Amino acid sequence: MDIRHLKIMIAVAEAGSMSGAAKKLYITQPAVSQVVKELENHYGCQLFERLGKGIYITEAGKLLCSQARMVIRQFDTLQENMQHMRAREVLKVGSTITVGACIIPGLMADFQVAHPTVDPYNFVNNTKIIEARLLQSQLDIGLVEGAVQHPDLVVEPVIPDYLVIICSPHHPFAGRTFIDARELENETFVMREDGSGTRELFESFARNRGFHVKIGWEVTAPEIIKTIVQKNNALAAISIRLVEAELNNGSVYVIRHPENSWHRNFNLVYHKHKQITAGMQGFMELARKIGSREIPSDHAFGMLR
């Protein structure tokens, strides 16, 4: 028994005859009679009484028609929804907090202009959580700043970036040409949460240089990090791409590492068995285009040594 059986059953009930249903459905009368017989055998009860040349629906037949109409409505809704899904791709994008703050808003605005038939969903969190969701097929593609190690994930570096240390213009480091790394030992830092690629990179540097990072604040939102730095005389390690406006208006002082130790890439990440859809391809192309642009380098920076 399938949806075709139910549609023929309803047609017979509405037409009041096998021939009328056959005419309405553009099939033969024997085909209609066969379907009704199959339904009666399937349910083990009579659906129509045959009296002379007329047929009359039974109580069992009325119940079946009533339930069948609901099933057919649900089936038709399912068909419409699936056709809509076929016409419009849903793209589930995961981005880390740094990327979500400085790259994703502009990228997605361009993406929706270029791909109006794709419905994007964006999820912003740290690298570890994005990685887990990609592995569980909860996301289609990610753009992250942290290291991704799982062998089932494809990682493509696309957007260059580097960390800087920022401080308030009133901090003792502000305006200094050189700052010794050992001086960082006594400073209070605003740090990202565990699982952040930014935090992982800076703490790795600190371990290699033999100093302990004193964490006074643990914050996920870049805008809050910058506010704390400006108002609380703290330091923070942050992406250069997140402080472009502050560099231009002089509200923070930036300290760079001269040996490029804090350079990194924002990486496209997706499962190696994932079918690359048109939406995924379009997203990757736009990310690569952003990666070809220059990042800020024409400002006066302090240097760490």
Least confident of 183-187, 283-287, 295-299: 295-299
Q: Residue 55's beta-bridge partner residues?
A: 50
Q: Quote the pLDDT of residue 145.
A: 86
Q: Residue holding tokens 């979500």?
A: 100
Show contacts of 32-39: CB within 8 Å, 24+ apart: 32/8, 35/4, 35/5, 35/8, 35/9, 36/8, 36/9, 36/12, 38/1, 38/5, 39/1, 39/5, 39/9, 39/64
Using a pLDDT cut of 70, give the percent of the chain over it: 96
Q: Give the tokens for residue 258.
A: 């001269």
Mean pLDDT value across the chain: 88
C-beta separation of 259 from 269 below 8 A: no
Q: Quote the pLDDT of residue 162.
A: 87
C-beta separation of 234 from 190 below 8 A: yes
Residue ranges, comma separated, of all CATH 1.10.10.10 domains in the chain are 3-87
Q: Residue holding tokens 């070809």?
A: 292
Confidence of residue 299 (pLDDT cuts 50, 70, 90): low
Q: Give the CATH number of domain 90-304; options: 3.40.50.2000, 3.40.190.290, 3.40.50.12370, 3.50.50.60.
A: 3.40.190.290
Architecture of domain 3-87: Orthogonal Bundle (1.10)
Residue ranges, comma separated, of all CATH 3.40.190.290 domains in the chain are 90-304
Whether the predicted pLDDT of 37 surpasses 80: yes
At 126-174, the pLDDT tens digits run: 888 999 999 999 999 999 988 888 999 999 999 998 889 999 999 999 8
